[in-house]
A and B are shown apart, each in its own frame.
Chain A
Amino acid sequence: MSADRAIIRILSVDDHPLLREGVAALLASQPDMTLVAEASNGREAIEQFRIHRPDVTLMDLQMPEVNGVDAMIAICGEFPEARIIVLTTYTGDVQVLRALKAGARAYLLKSLLRKELLETIRLVHAGQKRLLPEVATELAEHAIDDALSSREIEVLRLVSGGNANKEIAARLSITEETVKGHVKNILAKLGANDRTHAVTIGLKRGIIDL
């Protein structure tokens, strides 16, 4: 029983099968880790978590059906002790913040998995949190910026879909003047020159995704 406790039980969640295989291959060579289950979307992740109660969960963010952030919120709501590591391709301070608020203990970039994954699993399992320097820098850069309101994010998402103010107003059942006000606020908060620039910044910072 005491030998069992030393082994870290892991749940791997990613919609890309090849990546799950890669994680499995990497974990297979580690005597102190074992992969107990896999899931390909947020819904499956919640189910598998309930069944297996893994020590550490590796969570992708962009997945079909239920995304990573929603899955984390559900899991952490049910199991506050859950230790979740986010694996993703892009940084972006808002996305990082959202993941941390949802309960992530670490935020890893997929480009650095090869070298950082195993160590991060051990650290998080030991109860620590972990942010890589390049992620932390990005967080620090925007730490005191005004955040967009949920309505403004909604407007920005519609702008990114190529909608004119009139169409946005119709979709959100508000007046065109209100939309213009929102757009103006968005430009000011993001320091953007025009709406296309605002979309660019929104994507880069993970406020919206495509």
Chain B
Amino acid sequence: MGAVSRALEGYWIYSALTLPRNIMRIDDRHSASHGPQSAETGSNAYWRAIIHLLFGLIGLALITFAAIPLHLQPGAISLLYLIVVVFVSLRAGFASSVAVSLIAVFCLNYYFLPLLSSSGTRNPLAIVATGAFLITAWVITGMVARVRKLTEAQLTLRFEERLAERTRIARELHDTLLQSFQALMLHFQAVNDLLPPGKAKDALEKVLDRADQAIVEGRDAIQNLRSSTTFTNELAQAITALREELAGATDGEREAATFRVSVEGTPRDLHPILRDDIYRIAREALRNAFSHAQASKIEADIMYGERRFRLRIRDDGKGIDPKLLDLGRSGHWGLPGMRERAQQIGAQLDMWSEVGAGTEVELRIPGSIAYGTSARRSGFRLFHKKKEGADER
């Protein structure tokens, strides 16, 4: 009994933390090249919802048959039933939850609180209790469905808003700052042409070359803002490509660390905003590893799990002082930035480090957020599965 309730509680907390978020529109995902894969995960999700419904029913049965010999009060039993209903509404959707609540009412009346007393008269207490149970169960179920819908809408809106805001900033930067700098360079060149050959002219020429580089970097940064950091959906490729950029950051005397990227599971589509943020977190973590840690080995593990996406970056370098890790001394190691980014996308970021023993950074994102599909969403349609293709935002 204890184990069962602990398991139920675990599920419940997990569910509450991973409200589904529908980020991508399903129709395009089906028509794109990854179509078969997403269809497959769709049916997986469908089966998972059925399994959760079965879990719910088993939970009901266990509570019922454990409660009979224990002579529990009907009130306590209905509370336990309510927990099961809440679990099912979180894991398997609205319709399943209503069905389970009806079965629970039936069990309640049949075993513990007969509607008709032995003499054949109606039991008013049982009628009131049944009514109260059903109302509570359905109000909770309705609220769960509503919160879920709102959260989805809100998150989609937030992603869209951020995309729009980024585009606006990029356009502004391009129209003002970048254009002005490019124009100023022409002015400088005109001045340079006026200078007589000599030290001053050479020095100015060198400075102008550096400025050219800086402007090109700025331009690329603006273009990245305007679109997306990683043009390939393969996060692993993008992270592998970081090596060349970052290996240059190590001090000249030391040999560059060996860098290995590994992928577990089948790579899945991630929302571009999310992918960008994951990429930037990885970049920051790797930048620390390459330029501060004095590591000889750096590893990046990407795991596309069924339930969650995980990114882990490890080095065997000198480590970060735990005090620094907690405080995240502003402006250093980019730690606050990484935390902020992780929080924004609903991810969990953990860091372990000890002086002399290397550093490990782990980013975890629930599958429902990372892949934009969820078990619960399909489960919601457990009773009208055909509608899936018609989903439009």
Tell me the A residues contacting B by CB distance below 8 Å. 16, 18-23, 25-26, 28-29, 89-90, 110-115, 117, 162, 164-166, 180, 183-184, 187-188, 192-197, 199-201, 203-204, 210
Contact = CB atoms under 8 A, between A and B. Distances in A.
B185 interface: yes
| Nearest 4 pairs of A and B residues by beta carbon | A22-B186, A25-B190, A18-B183, A19-B183
B208 A114 contact: yes
Contact of A196 (B31, B171, B212, B272): B272
Contact of B28 (A18, A90, A187): A187
B249 interface: no
Contact of B33 (A29, A165, A193): A193
Nearest to A185: B31
A58 to B, nearest CB: 11
A111 B215 contact: yes
Interface residues of B, number: 47
Contacts of A18: 179-180, 183-184
A112 to B, nearest CB: 8
Contact of A22 (B183, B227, B231): B183
Q: Which of B25, B160, B189, B215 has the most CB of A within 10 A?
A: B189
Nearest to B227: A200
Contacts of A196: 163, 228, 271-272
B184 A22 contact: yes
Contacts of B393: 164
Contacts of B271: 196
B107 interface: no
Q: Tell me the dominant secondary structure on chain A's binding face.
A: helix
Q: Which of A26, A114, A188 has the most CB of B within 10 A?
A: A114
A19 B182 contact: yes
A192 B28 CA distance: 11
B28 A89 contact: no
A111 B175 CA distance: 14
A90 B183 CA distance: 15
Contact of B219 (A21, A111, A114, A210): A111
B187 interface: yes
Contact of A89 (B178, B184, B193): B178
Contacts of B190: 22, 25-26, 28-29
B182 A110 contact: yes
Contacts of B33: 187-188, 193
Contact of B185 (A113, A162, A180, A197): A113
B109 interface: no
Contacts of A184: 31
Contacts of B180: 16, 18
Contacts of A197: 228, 233, 272
B27 to A, nearest CB: 7
Given A18-B184, A21-B187, 9 more contacts: A16-B175, A16-B183, A28-B190, A29-B190, A111-B219, A112-B212, A162-B160, A200-B228, A201-B231
